[in-house]
Structure 1
Amino acid sequence: MTEHHDNDAHKPKGIYLLPNLLTTGGLFAGFYAVVASMNGDFKLASVAIFIAMIFDGLDGRVARMTNTQSAFGAEYDSMADMLSFGVAPALIAYNWGLNELGKIGWLAAFIFVAGAALRLARFNTMVGKADKRYFQGLASPAAAGIIAGGVWLGAEHELDGHSIGFIVALITMAAGALMVSNFRYHSFKDVDWKGRVSFLAILLVVLVYVIVATNPALVLFAIFMAYAVSGPFITVRGVRKLKMEHVVGDSKDADFCEKQKAAAEQSEATTENAKENEQKAKD
């Protein structure tokens, strides 16, 4: 009994500062996006969503690099994502082009919020089970990027969102539906960010920055729209016969999930063999 209390006393208490500080930055950006949209500054609200994406991309990587992962940090990150990539984009779309559509407007915004909530809940329950190379359903930051990019593009060209309210509603609902779909999206987690690359690759990165800087609203909107379309394309190409389970529903019965699991096992086996060969070479 005394030994058990001694072990509890030696457990570290408190939370890690750096990753949770970055998560808080993303949460602040999402909240600011809501406030800015309420004040009619839709361009600034959209930019705040993209800033929240930067914080969201950094907090997890910093936590892994500094070995400061925690259950608290994971839960806090999900709650921050719900605001920044669920509630905030929906309210931006509603304030910009949906609030004059009546019930259709706020229902379209709610579909997006519900889709983001379900997407995050499903992602949290599948951590460590699904193939890391793919996301099941459109990731909430990407869906938020479609909304924020579209509103930013419209605001930059002084387009009245209410004049295209039905198009805004259609895009908002489609983004919400894609989040809860079974379509596969590349996660890019298999990219070796620590590995060496050629000088040409660095030049290509510089070129991408230049292209984005020329017209960030248009380029970002196009990138996230293309990514959203890539999911159905990848899924349809990877199955022999498209079924309802491949689009929505119980993904456990889908053929592509079996292929996904097999691919993940094969990838793990290849990685283990590579490590064994590297160790033998060192010995």
Structure 2
Amino acid sequence: MKRPKVFRERMFRARPPGARRPRRTHPRLKGLPFNTILPNAITVLALCAGLTGIRFAMADRWQPAVLAIVIAAVLDAMDGRIARMLNGQSKFGAELDSLSDVISFGVAPAMLLYLWTLNGAGTFGWVAALAFAVCCALRLARFNSRLGAPDLPPWAFNYFTGVPAPAGAALALLPMILGFEAGSDWAGHPLLVVPWTLLIAGLMVSTIPTFSFKSVRVPQQYVVPVLVGVGLLAAALASQPWWTLVAIGLAYMASFPVSIRQFQRLQAAAALIQTPPAEEPGEVQDVRPVEAREDG
């Protein structure tokens, strides 16, 4: 059907000079700021490092495989701090971080241990590898379910509930790291690695308080000794990296009794503050009105 001439003239008529362009009725798409993309990019790099560790393990390159997991742990520690520094926290970033941790610190260490020595234990070795990966996923699911609601009271801000996933992955790989220097004949024996893997898996889903070291403040008089210790640690990592990692892992496990004792002290102090003072025996409190007390 042919439209009238008047309608066609109005349709194709040019806009008079000086007339404003009509506003868009639909909103424009806005891009994400850089401070939000950068922490997520670091999280993706951590995920790639964990998957690269599995690739090295399939090629029997155990030392690069362990280094890939260590790099993933370093990147995982960086993304959260960078997000807080740039004010780029988001729900998407938190979920992505947890999914990356499941692969890098749950599936990847379990595959490394299974391909290294747990496959020699048959069904028990596979059960240990599955238990480790499942416990890591359960720990992260427990953390995600409490997003926005901390699982510890405010006075326990310097503690984790159980062993965090990166530390659990490092502890699980201690027999392999020890085997690099001491030999894998006894360090990689399934009778040792299977119960060790199950122990670390249980620590990840446990409720024991462990130090987080996120809010530790160094007193001013100890700043110089701490810096000297950091320099010595760097020198040890450069000269004897595997023995140094073993020492760090054992020292971290030795801190568990200390953290439990300190947590119990803080818990007792908090309960003492919240409990109202008890009345002395034999003292009867006068609950009469003020007028009745004055008259009596």
Unaligned runs of 5+ in 2: 1-23, 275-296
Q: Distance in 1 between matches of 2:126 and 2:39?
A: 34
Question: Which residue number in structure 1 is paired with residue 102 of structure 2?
Answer: 82
Deviates more, 1:96-105 or 1:16-25: 16-25
Equivalent of residue 148 in structure 1, options 169, 173, 179: 173
What letter corresponds to residue 48 of structure 2 in structure 1?
F
Question: Which residue number in structure 1 is paired with residue 205 of structure 2?
Answer: 180
What letter corresponds to residue 160 of structure 2 in structure 1?
F
1:168 aligns with 2:193: yes
Contact 1:138 1:178 in 2 (8 A): yes
Contact 2:58 2:115 in 1 (8 A): yes
Q: Distance in 2 between matches of 1:260 and 1:65?
A: 34
- Secondary structure of 1:185's counterpart equals strand
Contact 1:100 1:162 in 2 (8 A): no
Query: Could you give the per-residue CA deviations for residues 65-111 of structure 1, whole angstroms, max 9, x where no partner exists?
Result: 11111111111010111011001111111111110111100001111
1:49 aligns with 2:69: yes
Residue 204 of structure 1: CA displacement? 2.1
Question: Which residue number in structure 2 is paired with residue 223 of structure 1?
Answer: 248
- TM-score, normalising length from structure 2? 0.72
Q: Distance in 2 between matches of 1:192 and 1:226?
A: 20
Question: Which residue number in structure 1 is paired with residue 42 of structure 2?
Answer: 22
Question: Which residue number in structure 2 is paired with residue 276 of structure 1?
Answer: none
Residue 164 of structure 1: CA displacement? 0.9
- Secondary structure of 1:100's counterpart equals helix
Distance 1:21-1:222 versus aligned 2 partners, 3 A rule: same
Q: Distance in 1 between matches of 2:47 and 2:268?
A: 33
Q: Distance in 2 between matches of 1:49 and 1:164?
A: 22
Percent of residue pairs bearing the same amino acid type: 37
Deviates more, 1:169-178 or 1:13-22: 13-22
- Secondary structure of 1:182's counterpart equals coil
Query: Could you give the per-residue CA deviations for residues 215-252 of structure 1, whole angstroms, max 9, x where no partner exists?
Result: 21122122123323432453256549xxxxxxxxxxxx
Q: Distance in 1 between matches of 2:185 and 2:27?
A: 60
> What RMSD over aligned residues (CA atoms) do the two structures have, in Å?
3.1
Identify, as 1 or 2, the structure richer in helix.
1
Contact 2:118 2:126 in 1 (8 A): yes
Distance 1:104-1:62 versus aligned 2 partners, 3 A rule: same
Distance 1:65-1:237 versus aligned 2 partners, 3 A rule: closer
Unaligned runs of 5+ in 1: 1-5, 241-255, 267-283
Question: Which residue number in structure 1 is paired with residue 224 of structure 2?
Answer: 199
1:110 aligns with 2:145: no
Q: Distance in 2 between matches of 1:207 and 1:100?
A: 39
Contact 1:143 1:179 in 2 (8 A): yes
Q: Distance in 2 between matches of 1:9 and 1:161?
A: 66
What letter corresponds to residue 216 of structure 1 in structure 2?
P
Bigger Cα Rg: 2
Question: Which residue number in structure 1 is paired with residue 10 of structure 2?
Answer: none
Q: Distance in 1 between matches of 2:163 and 2:39?
A: 24
Alignment size in residue pairs? 241
Contact 1:47 1:148 in 2 (8 A): no
- TM-score, normalising length from structure 1? 0.75
Q: Distance in 1 between matches of 2:268 and 2:39?
A: 31
